[in-house]
Structure 1
Amino acid sequence: MRQFLRALNPLAALRRQVSRWMQARLPLSDTLLLTQRNVYILPTGAGWMLALTLLVLLLASINFQLNLGYLLTFLLAGSAVAGMHICHGTLRGLTLHLQPPEPQFLGQGAALTVQLANERRSPRRAVALAVHGSGHWAWTDVPAQGNAQVQIAFSPSQRGLHPVPLLTAETRYPLGTFRVWALWRPAAQVLVYPAPEPGAPPLPPGEPRSGGTGSAPSHGRTEFDGVRAYRRGDPMKLVVWKKAAQAFASGNGTLIARDAQQPHRHELWLDHAHTGLGDLETRLSRLTAWVLQADRLGLDYGLRLPGQEIAMGHGAAQRRRCLEALALC
């Protein structure tokens, strides 16, 4: 309701245009030094009330010739001026550096890590950072001639490569009568993978390796590169303990056994056209879940997407290549 009323405000469109114009003038940089040129200050609501109170005290002191009233008025005014100077100095001279964002899965939210460097010999109190307009502030104190880190929540609404949104640094220390802030446009981008399908079906059956006979059918869903899921009655000497340990460590209690009858006969291809789904996003979600399954099992696998094919491989590098291709598909 509040947003609807704001949209009806005739000044709302003008404010949005002025805001876009100001943001477009900000340079793109992952490191920002706060100076007098990019730090702004205005009284808060409490500050305006204090100013009104001081005006009333001054008029009453003049009217009734109260010396103690003059003393109280100018003492409070001096405290407000000193607080304004301290508040502006809390941000002025601070250096902000955005660390390279890690890729995230859609729906899990991204954490932007910002490092604050203070070269001054006194600490800086109550410094807050947030995505501009979000209202979700991350507060920290920066020690004297030291560093501090804060993590800012950022939740992209879709997969793909997203620019880091406009950030705001703010403080109201020490009295809360003034708001000092700075706007920051980082140059970094965040890669967002598709969300894995919950409860995804098992991996698809393997395809006969090119150049092989491929006449015998596959016995199990994970029967690729000479391994398969452990079946009751298999000799324990066929268990691949290294891959079993990796599976248990990742929370997937699946034993992997060597296939003595069909070694290296099948290849695992995760094909966009064979997911059994019609919608693009649900297909990518299922492929993402299959990539994570194959990686947990330590299998060699490849990925086929429209106009793109990622060769067979395994390990962290293969997982990263496949997830990046799914995110940018």
Structure 2
Amino acid sequence: MKPPALRWPWQRRWDAWWQARHPASDTTALTQRNLYILPSRPGAAFVVTLLVLLLASINDQLSLGYLLTFVLAGAGMASMNATHRNLRGLKLDLKTPPPAYAGQALALDIRLHNPSAARFGVGLRLPDAKPGDTAFADVPAQGHAQLQLQLSFPNRGRHALPRLRIESQFPFGLFMTWSYWRPAAQAWVYPTPELDAPPAAAVEEGLPQGQGQPGLGDDPGLRPYRHGDSPRQILWKKSALALAQPQPPGGSGAGAALLVRERLGSRASEQWLDLAATRGLPFEQRVSRLAAWVLRAEEEGLPYGLRLRGVALAPDLGPEHFRDCMEALALAQEQP
């Protein structure tokens, strides 16, 4: 294990100061404490021009030159105050990003809240992005606006979001005011499903003998309702008859009396998707194949379970089960 790098005392003080001004949070408010401002490139040229005008006025004793210099300097100071005020007081919050597959674009939805006068030219971008990739929005007075950024992660897993840069050069572009935002949310990146994956090498497990549900009778095409089944598959008349039958003590109630007829071509038993069935492949390809099997089983409506090293998710269907399986695959680690 690599030992932690030694840090000088001033570096620790700097980190403490930075984290105090920019704590990790999914909401932030821009205040005098966390806003910074400096002249932009046009602003630096403007300052140089003012110095040249001042020196020429002093050299030639031009009263109108003094007047022009100080009027322009006053306009520049007013511009600096307006630029800083354009962001001061603005509030931002981040919506939890939806999961994405490795290498695909992940969308960050940011909402801007303005408690005062209208704001113009508010920009948001990743710190390493080019200025041309900045997303801009105007926020109406006492209103809201929304911005969206896109980023991607090449590897599966749970990733911390990068810090975001909020900036503005309104109104004249002579000054740049900015702040940084460190979101606390994390992004789930699922493994990319394998293209043209072979059929799942599933392990099927049926119900034990003698444990049928009331109302099934001898019809092998009937089974109890399972979470994720379509309402169209429910046999309401047979379910009503089964519900009318006396329930044994400790029975599971009305939910167990709902009967479903298996669709033609579907399997009545549950399938298990096992990491052991992908032996002989590189680990990342094994995970990608399991992801493809999970996606295919969900699309076909076949209840499925997932087995990894130290993880076993019981067969089920639905968005929550799909999310649990993909998150388990995203965090799967190869063991020696």
Band of TM-score, shorter chain? 0.7 to 0.9
Q: Matched residues in 2 for 1:106 and 1:23: separation?
A: 31
Per-residue deviation, 1:157: 3.0
| 8 Å Cα contact 2:165/2:179 also seen in 1 | yes
Per-residue deviation, 1:208: 4.6
Show CA shifts across 1:268-326 (max 9, x none). Answer: 21111112442221111111111111111111111111111110111212111111111
Q: What is the TM-score normalised by the length of structure 1? A: 0.76
Per-residue deviation, 1:108: 0.9
Q: Is 2:264 aligned against 1:258?
A: yes
Q: Secondary structure at the match of 2:153?
A: coil
Residue in structure 2 matching 1:293, options 275, 296, 306: 296
Per-residue deviation, 1:21: 6.5
Which amino acid is the alignment partner of residue 327 of structure 1? A
Show CA shifts across 1:116-174 (max 9, x none). Answer: 10010x21011111222223321111111001111122222321111221111111111
| 8 Å Cα contact 2:267/2:302 also seen in 1 | no
Distance change >3 Å, CA 192–CA 168, structure 1 → 2: same
Q: Is 2:31 aligned against 1:35?
A: yes
For the aligned residue pairs, the C-alpha RMSD in angstroms reads: 2.8
Per-residue deviation, 1:65: 2.6
Runs (5+) with no aligned partner, structure 2: 1-10, 210-220, 223-229, 234-261
Q: Is 2:100 aligned against 1:104?
A: yes
Per-residue deviation, 1:109: 2.2
Residue in structure 1 matching 2:142, options 138, 142, 145: 145
Distance change >3 Å, CA 300–CA 88, structure 1 → 2: same
Which amino acid is the alignment partner of residue 34 of structure 1? L
Which amino acid is the alignment partner of residue 96 of structure 2? P
Show CA shifts across 1:91-128 (max 9, x none). Answer: 100001111221211111211111110010x2101111
Show CA shifts across 1:14-64 (max 9, x none). Answer: xx9998676444312111111101101111121111101111011112222
Q: Is 2:131 aligned against 1:125?
A: no
Show CA shifts across 1:185-234 (max 9, x none). Answer: 1211111111111222233355252636xxxxxxxxxxxx99xxxxxxxx
Q: Matched residues in 2 for 1:188 and 1:263: separation?
A: 40
Which amino acid is the alignment partner of residue 124 of structure 2? L
2:187 counterpart residue number: 190
Per-residue deviation, 1:69: 2.2
Q: Secondary structure at the match of 1:203?
A: coil
Q: Matched residues in 2 for 1:290 and 1:20: separation?
A: 45
Q: What is the TM-score normalised by the length of structure 2? A: 0.74
Q: Matched residues in 2 for 1:274 and 1:31: separation?
A: 45
Q: Is 2:282 aligned against 1:279?
A: yes
Q: Matched residues in 2 for 1:80 and 1:129: separation?
A: 25
Q: Matched residues in 1 for 2:287 and 2:172: separation?
A: 52
Q: Matched residues in 2 for 1:192 and 1:185: separation?
A: 19
Q: Secondary structure at the match of 2:37?
A: strand
Distance change >3 Å, CA 59–CA 276, structure 1 → 2: same
Which amino acid is the alignment partner of residue 132 of structure 1? P
Farther-moved stretch of structure 1 (71-80 vs 297-306): 71-80
Distance change >3 Å, CA 209–CA 23, structure 1 → 2: farther
Q: Secondary structure at the match of 1:176?
A: coil
1:134 counterpart residue number: 129
| Identity, % of aligned positions | 46
Aligned positions, number: 275
Q: Matched residues in 2 for 1:78 and 1:149: separation?
A: 34
Per-residue deviation, 1:75: 2.4
